[in-house]
Chains A and B, each alone.
Chain A
Amino acid sequence: MYDISVLTGGRAGDGINSAGLLIAHLFNQMGYQTYLYFDYPSLIKGGHNFTITRAAEQKIGAHRDQCDYLLALSQDSVDLHRHLLSDNAVILFDSGRVHGQGQGIPVEAILKAEQAPTVMGNSCIIGAFAKASGIPFDVVETVIRRQIPKAPEKNLAIARKGYEAVREERVIPRVGTTCCPLVNGNEAIGLGLLHGGLDAYVAYPMTPTSNLLHFLAGAARDFPLTVVHPENEIAVMLMALGLSYAGKKTAVGTSGGGFCLMTEGFSLAGGAEVPIVVVMGQRTGPSTGLPTYTGQTDLRFVLHAGQGEFPRIVVAPGSPEQAYVWSSIALSLAWKCQVPAVILADKTLCEGTYSLDEKAMIVPGTGDPPKPGSSRSYRRYEMTENGISPLQFPPLRDAAIKVNSYAHDEDGITTEKADIVRLMTEKRKRKTQALKGEIDLLECVKTYGMGGARTALLCWGSTLPVCTEVARRYGFGVIQPIVLSPFPEEQLKAAVAGVRILIAVEENADGQLTLLCRQHGIAVDIHVDKLDGRPFSVEELGARLKEVS
């Protein structure tokens, strides 16, 4: 089985992410499944960036610590990553910037001869990589024509010169003829929201969801979508609630710091029953933390955010396919049950690029909010059996649609009367039950390789692929709750039945899912943490599991 990793390193501003992505596309054309990890500090120019493009014959979503090729556009790329190189690694470098062993490519001279801008250096590098790895030039041509539609001829000429500048070293064979779409988690979430009927997206830039804002702002040219970037996250949330009140299916996006500012609006959405979806991309906290690195430290935050008690949906997809499906579901259910929903992602998922399995993108239907009777008698908070009131938007003839952050009656008029307050609290409580009924119809807990497994890994979110890959080697099963609120207690209990040792793998210190499980009477035996802001590599998780099991 072929399993190849390519490390591409350079300074910020060198377009290292694009280079890594182009290499992923070369692998894609050669029939491989790919995954791209992008590691970069919080700065714009200089510093050291690198990507690891991994290709394998089976589906993957995690990086490895043993790279077979190094493409170095800076001296740091050679000096910092020696420990990540396998024996006999192929090293290609920009001879104008880097001294070392391996094959040098005179990138600057090639660009100068072609009178091309620095940004086209990537084409030179992937041309050289293709030659060194025995990938035919027509594959390079396909990738450049598809992925760099701007000035393809010039890019091709440069790639050709890169191709001719080196000799073949270690051949990567073609393993298939099918190629998949390569998407990052932000794109998968955005497409899922669009599938769910998204009308508006409001966000203030914040890593790792800024690219979702950029993606949807671009998509607004093709889709009937309004995208707004207001003055801060407080305005983001409130503007979104205004859009939602007036009938637009709306989502917002942020990370932990921005979500702190959104919580007053989040509670308003819960109390006033205005549907909203929050895309929460976690990064390393607390506070500013490591802005461009990852973490799973905000589960308890999103479960408890906002004053008062109100039903909420929290889903944590672990792959681009799940991100697509559950973003659509989150929007539909938030709308149907008129509650706030959180799509809890992280830097790994948001900014990682994956081969997408389109067959796994099937979204189950969730139904519409209840329809009202005559508008003359419309009451925004009408008491119903399941607590969900008919949802209408202004303008509605002969009706006044009143939503209210205060305790209110069925008309939306403020009240402090004890009996009405109690009835409204019970109404929201019934909505929690209704929501629970909705999610019980869905497969909220996924299991992998559980046939006869006595040991299982318990994970949530972006660690799913690394867990399934490592578990396969150890003969462990994997259990992944995708929905975390309302907590799918019965489904999870059924999944863990028969498991002798349950090992939670979480990229946090406190064991947030572990604690949540304990609250629901599900015991976790071992907690494997991660404290450095970096996602688990396959080797690292393997070693950690060896220590504990």
Chain B
Amino acid sequence: MQEKNLITGAQNTWCPGCGNFTIQFALRNAIKGLVSEGVALENIVLVTGIGCHAKMSDYLGINSFYSIHGRTIPVATGIKLANPELTVICCAGDGDAYAEGLDHLIFGAKRNTDITVVIHNNRVYGLTTGQYTPTSPLGFRGKSTPQGAPEEPFNPLTLMLASGAGFVARSTSRKMPHLTGIIGQALRHKGFSFVDVLQICASYFNVSELYDRQGYELSGHDPSDFTAACRKAEEWDYNTDSPIAFGLFYQEAKPCFEERFSKHPVSTVHTEEQIRAFLETKR
């Protein structure tokens, strides 16, 4: 089952030119990086939602939980709580994380669960053939909004900063080395790591030109400065035509959710004895 190159034999069904290929190889390489540092491959678990991105579960030859739409983060939280030794990665789409499962994204950041969340943000529903998502621009003409989307997008970076995420970054499927580096950093960050990946959808929303023209890599930015991170995150509103920064916006070390649960010492008392002891107090 586990292939040397971490790619399974499953037939790949992404469209030619799909941004997911870049994310797949960036993630694969980032995982290889971890393994080369001594992390056991079997200690890595991938959780995906539903959508084109989610096929990652089929294509990467590692432990995976191919979940349902919007529900990567609670599954990942459960896995991490069950065994904090595991490295848990969520791949989710923008429909997954920003629409169907937005509550879980906010709570993931609030709890600071030690998981890495990679959002394949192509700003369109691909697998359902082209409807607007929470990050599609105002006026987006999709199949459900032929007159143009009547809502402005929200900004996932400011949302995550407001929710308490300790690692907030953005990259793009247009820059594989940059993306590999950012995912690698996210995996090594202890706590909730959020990476918004601006991914092009070759079939329904190919804005490669926009990302190439407006995109730039952050430099001279201090990721420990929350105010500066907020300012930088607000530079582009996912709607208008302004410069788009890629890189690590914010990083803060703080205690993780699972660390705050009490560690259970191996009990020497038999469960049935404990039950009897409890019943004795009820007599």
Contacts and interface: CB of A to CB of B under 8 A. Distances in A.
A239 B63 contact: no
A231 B104 contact: yes
Contact of A264 (B66, B68, B266, B267): B68
Contacts of B208: none
Nearest to B272: A195
B61 to A, nearest CB: 5
Interface in B56-104: 57-58, 61-68, 71, 74-83, 85-86, 103-104
Given A181-B280, A181-B282, A414-B66, A398 B2 contact: yes
A395 B103 contact: no
A243 B81 contact: yes
Given A181-B282, A224-B267, A243 B66 contact: no
A413 B64 CA distance: 10
Interface residues of A, number: 69
B282 A183 contact: yes
Contacts of B76: 242
B154 interface: no
A323 interface: no
Contacts of B61: 400
A181 B57 CA distance: 50
Given A224-B267, A231-B107, A235-B103, A401 B74 contact: no
B274 interface: yes
A411 B1 contact: yes
Nearest to A235: B74
A404 B8 CA distance: 15
B82 A246 contact: yes
Contacts, number: 184
Contacts of A265: 68, 71
From A180, A221, A411, residue with most partner B Cβ within 10 Å: A411
A412 B1 CA distance: 10
A196 to B, nearest CB: 9
A372 B52 CA distance: 33
Contacts of B281: 146
A400 B2 contact: yes
A86 interface: no
Closest 7 CB pairs of A and B: A242-B78, A246-B82, A238-B74, A395-B42, A181-B282, A224-B264, A242-B75
Given A243-B79, A402-B66, 16 more contacts: A191-B275, A194-B275, A226-B81, A235-B107, A239-B75, A239-B78, A264-B71, A268-B67, A356-B282, A396-B42, A402-B64, A405-B50, A405-B66, A413-B8, A414-B57, A414-B66
Interface of A: 28, 146, 179-183, 187, 191, 194-195, 197, 199-200, 202, 219-226, 228, 230-232, 234-248, 250, 264-265, 268, 272, 356, 358, 378-379, 394-406, 408, 411-414
18 contacts: A199-B82, A238-B104, A239-B81, A242-B47, A242-B65, A242-B74, A242-B79, A244-B78, A246-B45, A247-B82, A264-B68, A264-B71, A395-B83, A400-B1, A400-B2, A401-B64, A402-B63, A413-B8
